[in-house]
Structure 1
Amino acid sequence: MDNTDDDDWLIDDDDAVMSAASAAHAAGALPPWRVLVVDDDADVHAVTRLALRNVAFKDRELELFSAHSAAEGFTLLRDTADIALVLLDVVMETEDAGLVLARRIREDLGNHTVRVVLRTGQPGQAPEQRVIIDYDIHDYKAKTELTTQRLFTAVISALRAYDTLTTLERSRDALSRVLACSGHLYQAVYHGGSLREFATGVLGQATAVLGVGADAMLCVVQADGGELAVLAASGAFADLAGLALLPAGHPLRPAFQRALAQRSSQYDDDATVLLVPTEQQRRACVAFIPPLPVAPIQRDLLELFGQRVAGAFDNHYLVAQLRALRQSAEAPPPPPPGTFPAH
C-alpha cells in the first residue's frame, strides 16, 4: 500500500488541551475505556498512543489495544470483552480489509454496540458517502485531517455514544430481570420464613438482578423508637447482619435518615439508598455501593425494583398476620374454670 500520506496523518495542534479531560480522573477508581487501534503502520499506533495518553472521559482513562491487520483485529474483538471503540484503517492486507472487518464486527460477532471510526490515508479507495451509507460505522476520517484535537473529539464522541448504547442495553436486560424477579419475591412470601430470611432474599435479588455490586444492606425502622434495624447485609457490610441496630456512627446512617425523612431515594456519589415505599407497618431502605455511578435511566429501574420489594414486604406482613390469626383460631379453647385438663 502507499503510505505517503500516513506519515503526517496526525498534525500537531498546539491549541489542543488534553489535560482538561483527565483532570477529574480518580486513578484506579473506575475501569478504563478499551480502545482498539487496527492499522498496519506501526507509526500510527505509536502516535495514537502519544496523542491519547492523557485522555479521560467520565473519570475513566483509556486502555489501548493494538492490532496490525484486520484478521488480528477480528481475533482481539472476539476474545476481548468490553471494547468500546475501534480506530480502524481501511487499506491494510487488502484494499478493503477495514471495510470487511467493519461488516464482520456487526454480522459475524453480532456486536452492535462497539463504535467504529474508520481512518484512511487514501480516501479515494473508499468514498465517504458510500461507506457511511453501506457500513454501520460511527465516523469516517481522512488521516490527513486528523489533528490532535480532532482525534480527541472523535474519540470522546464515540465513547459517549457507546456509553449511551450500553446503558440502554443494560437497562433493558435489567428491566426484564426486575419483572421476572417479582415472582420470586412473592414466592418467598408465601413459602413462609422469617422477615430476616425474606430480606436476605431481597438483597440477593438486588445484587443479581440490578448488578449493583455485592456491598449491600437492608434496614427497617423499628416500630418502637424509630431506630434502624439491620435485617440483611452482604459484602463489605456482612458484619452488620448480626446486629440488631445500625451503629450510630455508620457513614450511611445520614443517607438512610434523609431517605426516610424526604420519602425519596438518595443517589450520592459514593453510595445509593433506595427507599422501599411500603404501606403497612414497615418502613425500609436498601443501601448499596454500586461499582459505577448510577445513570438516570438506571434510577428508574431501581425505583421500579423498590416498588416491587415494597409490595412483597406488604404481602409478607399481611401473610404473617393471617397466619397468626389462623393459629389463634385453631388453638384449643382454654378449659372452663374449676376443671382439670384430661390426661
Structure 2
Amino acid sequence: MSSPEPLDPDLLALSDDADPPHEVISRWRILIVDDEPDVHLATTFALRDSIIQGRELEFLHAYNGDEALQMLSQEHDIAVVLLDVVMQGDNDGLLVADAIRNQLNLQELRIVLRTGHPGYAPEYQVIRDYGINDYKTKSDLSQIRLLTTLTTAIRSYQQLHAINTSKRGLELIVEASGQLFERRALEGFTSRILANLAELLRLPSDGLICVFNARTPSRRPQHAWTVASASGRYVSLEGLSLSALARPELVNAIEHAIRSRSNLYSGEFAVLFLSRQRDHEAVVYLHTGRPLDDIERQLIEVFCSNIAIGLENIALFSQLQDLAYIDPLCHVPNRTQLVSQLGQMRLHAMGDECVVLIDVDHFSQINDALGHLIGDQLLQSITLRLRGLLPRETLLARVDVDMFAIAGRAIHLDLDAIIAAFDRPFSVASHQLRVQITAAAAKLGDTEEDGLGCLKDVTIALNLAKQGMRGGLLWFSPSMSSASRQRLSLLNDLEQAIASNQLTVYYQPQIELQSGRVIAVEALVRWPLPGGHLIPPDQFIPLAEQSGLIIELGEWLLDTVCRQIARWRDEGLGGLRVAINVSMVQFNHDGLIDLLADALRRYQIPPELIEVEITESVAMRKPEDVIARIDLLKKLGVQVAIDDFGTGFSSLAYLQRLKADRLKIDRAFIRDMGSGETSIAEMVINLGHKLGIRVLAEGVEFPAQAAILRSLGCDEAQGYMYAKPAPADLLTLWLQETNRSV
C-alpha cells in the first residue's frame, strides 16, 4: 500500500458551495472497504473536517467484502463506497460491486474502485457491467485528488438521490391522491392526509389538521378553526377549536400561517396552509423533528395542491349531499333521505315504529293570494312548530311542496298534540294564517318492507283521507294497498281494452212524452268481460278521469257514435240524435272542439245529431269558461244538455247565459214522485220552459211517473219503462219492429 502524501492544510477546507457550519443539516456517509487498516486511517485523516456540498463527512469501515455487504444491507443513506479491488481474492472488489447493484439493488450509491496495483485495473466493459463509477490507484489519491473524486461522486449521488426521491415522492403523491379523492367524509380525508405526509417524508405521523368552518358564528376567527384530525402526540387535541388549544407555540405557528396564507417551515415543524376557496381552507401542522430539505418542500408543495383540491371536492360533495338529501327551504331531510331512513328503520325496528304524512290543505291558495314568499315562510314556521314537538331521534322531513313526514317510534309521538298544533294560527309577516291539515299514519310493520314501498302505502291512506275526511287523520291498512293495486290493474286493463277495441256502446232511447216517439238515444260505454259479464261504468269511468285516460276513451266513443249514426242513416233511421256524456276533463280539453268537427266531417253527419251532455257540477265549476266553451259548441251546430239538473246550486243568471238546449231532471227527483213529491220536478220544468229549454226526465220506470210528467208539461223522458240500454244492433231491430223512431 502506498503511503499517503503530506496533507496540505489549505486543501482541507475545499468544498463546493459550502454552507456555514450552523446550516449543515446532515452528513455524507462514506464507506471505506479495504483489508489494510492503514488505508482507512490515511483516508479519514486526509478528509478530516472536509465539507462537501455543504455537509460534513461520516466514515464507516469494512475490512472485507462480507462485512461491506452486511453493513450496506443494514445502514441507510450511504453515498459513496471507496472499494479496494483486491482484498482476500483477486476479484473481491468486483464481486462486492456486483452484489451492491444486483443483490442489494443500491443504484444511487456511488462506487469508487481503488487499487495499489495498477496492473489490476479492470477493463472498461467490466466497469460498465458492474456499475462502477470511478477507478483510482491508491498512489494517485493525494488529498486534493481524493477530495475531488469524492466531490464528483457525491454530486452524482446527490443528483440521483434527488431524482429518485422526487420520483418516489411523486408516485406516492399520485397514489395518495387517488386514495384521498375516494374519501367522501372530511374526517376520513384529513386523517389520511396526516398518514400520507408522514409516509412521504419518512417521518412518524405526528401532526394535526385544522379546518375552517364558515358556518360557525363567532366574532373571534379562532373559533371557526377546528382540529378535524390529529395523530401521534397531538391526538388528544382532535375536535377542539383552535382557540381552545393550550399550546401557545403551536397556536402561534398555525395563526401565522393563517394570517400570511402561506407555508411556514422551521427546524422542528412545518405548517402548511391549504386554500381553494374561503370556505374550504385548512392548515396542517406537522412535527418533523428536523429541517426539511428543498426536495421535500417541493414534494410537499405538490402534495398540498392536491390536498387543497381534495378539500374542495369534499366540500362540493357535502353540498351535493345537502342538495340530494336536505330540503333547501326548511333545512330538514327531503323525500330521498326519508325513503333511505325508512329502509334503515325497518332493518333495526323495535316493533312500534310508525310514519305520519301531513298535508297542508289548500296551500296553493295561500301562494296565489299572498305570494310565494309568504308561502315559503309559512312552511318554515310549520317546520319549526313540528320540530318543537318531536324528540331529537324522531325524523321530520319535507316530502312535497306542502307535505311533511314524521317517522319514529310511536312511544315518542303524541299524534293528538301534533294535530292540535295546527289549531293555533301561524304568525307570518303581518298575517295570522290558520291552516287545516289532512294526515295519514301507518305502522311500519303494516307497510311494504322497503322505504319507497312504505311511503307509497301511507300516501295511499293520505289520498283516501283527502277524498273523504279532510281535516282528519286516517290510519293505513293493508287492504288499502290491495285496493290500490286492483285499481291500477283495472286501469291497465282499461287501456288495453281501448287499444284493442274491446269496449262497446249501449244506447238507451229518449222518448217524446206527448207523441211516444223515439227522438234520440243516449250513448253509454260498456266494458264486457269474456264470460259475458259487464264491468260497471262507476268502476272504470272515475279511474279513466283520474288517470287522463278519459281523453282516449272519449275519442273512441265519439268515433264509434258517429260511425253508428252514419249506419242508421243508411238504414233509414237518420233522424236519431245521440247524447254523449262528457266529463269535466274532456270538456276542458283544448282538443274537444277540433275532435268533434273532424268526426262530423269524416262521417258527413249533421252537427245537430250530436248532443254533448255535461253535469250541473261541471257547468258551475268555472261558469265563465263553461259559457265560452258552450258558445264554441253552438257555433259548431252541436246541441248541449245539462245533466243531473237540480242536484247542484246553479245561478239562474248563469243558467240563462249557458244557452243549453236541454235540461235533464235527475232520476232521484223522479223516484220521489212515487211519494207525491213533485215540486222540484215541476220547478225544473217551469224554469226550463221560461228559458226556452226543453226538459227531459231520467229514470222513468212506471206509467204513473210518465203520467205526472206529462201533466207537468215535461217534454221528454227515458228509463226502463220504455227500454233498457242495449247494443246498437238490438236497438235497431226494436226501432224497426215498433216503428217508434222519428
- Shorter-chain TM-score range: 0.7 to 0.9
Deviation readout 1:166-198 (Å, 9 max, x if unpaired): 232222122222212223223321xx4xx3454
Instruction: Quote the residue 1:3 is aligned against.
Output: none
Q: Which runs of 5+ in 2 are unaligned?
A: 327-332, 336-396, 399-403, 406-418, 424-435, 440-472, 476-742
Q: CA deviation at 1:201?
A: 2.7
- Greater shift in the superposed pair: 247-256 or 161-170: 247-256
Q: CA deviation at 1:133?
A: 5.0
Q: 2:159 aligns with which of 126, 148, 164?
A: 164
Q: CA deviation at 1:239?
A: 4.1
Q: CA deviation at 1:245?
A: 1.2
Task: Say if 1:292 and 1:33 are closer, same or farther in 2 by CA, change over 3 A.
Answer: farther
Instruction: Quote the residue 2:94 is aligned against.
Output: 99
Q: 2:242 aligns with which of 241, 245, 260?
A: 245
Q: Find out whether 1:182 has 2:156 as its counterpart.
A: no
Task: Say if 1:42 and 1:300 are closer, same or farther in 2 by CA, change over 3 A.
Answer: closer
Identity %: 34
- Provide the C-alpha distance between the structure 2 equivalents of 1:89 and 1:10, rounded to a whole number of angstroms: 19
Q: What secondary structure sits across from 2:229 in the alignment?
A: strand
Q: CA deviation at 1:322?
A: 3.2
Instruction: Quote the residue 2:334 is aligned against.
Output: 329
Structure 2 matches for 1:1-343, cutoff 5 A? 6-18=1-13, 24=21, 30=26, 32-55=27-50, 61-126=56-121, 135-189=130-184, 192=185, 195-223=186-214, 224=218, 225-227=220-222, 228-245=225-242, 247=245, 250-253=248-251, 255-279=253-277, 281-290=279-288, 293-325=291-323, 326-327=325-326, 328-330=333-335, 331-332=397-398, 333=404, 337-338=422-423
Count how many residue pairs are aligned between Structure 1 and Structure 2. 332
Aligned residues of 1:86 and 1:114 also touching (Cα < 8 A):
yes
Task: Say if 1:99 and 1:198 are closer, same or farther in 2 by CA, change over 3 A.
Answer: closer
Task: Provide the aligned C-alpha RMSD in A.
Answer: 3.5
Q: CA deviation at 1:44?
A: 0.8
Task: Say if 1:128 and 1:272 are closer, same or farther in 2 by CA, change over 3 A.
Answer: farther
- Provide the C-alpha distance between the structure 2 equivalents of 1:140 and 1:266, rounded to a whole number of angstroms: 44
Task: Say if 1:214 and 1:40 are closer, same or farther in 2 by CA, change over 3 A.
Answer: same
Q: Which runs of 5+ in 1 are unaligned?
A: 1-5
Q: What secondary structure sits across from 1:91 in the alignment?
A: coil
Q: State the structure with more CA Rg.
A: 2
Deviation readout 1:31-54 (Å, 9 max, x if unpaired): x54322111211111222333443
- Provide the C-alpha distance between the structure 1 equivalents of 2:69 and 2:86, rounded to a whole number of angstroms: 15
- Provide the C-alpha distance between the structure 2 equivalents of 1:292 and 1:158, rounded to a whole number of angstroms: 26
Task: Say if 1:10 and 1:38 are closer, same or farther in 2 by CA, change over 3 A.
Answer: farther
Deviation readout 1:47-79 (Å, 9 max, x if unpaired): 223334434557765443322223432333334
- Provide the C-alpha distance between the structure 2 equivalents of 1:291 and 1:159, rounded to a whole number of angstroms: 25
- Provide the C-alpha distance between the structure 2 equivalents of 1:7 and 1:114, rounded to a whole number of angstroms: 26
- Greater shift in the superposed pair: 296-305 or 131-140: 131-140
Q: What secondary structure sits across from 1:307 in the alignment?
A: helix
Q: What secondary structure sits across from 2:72 in the alignment?
A: helix
- Provide the C-alpha distance between the structure 2 equivalents of 1:60 and 1:238, rounded to a whole number of angstroms: 36
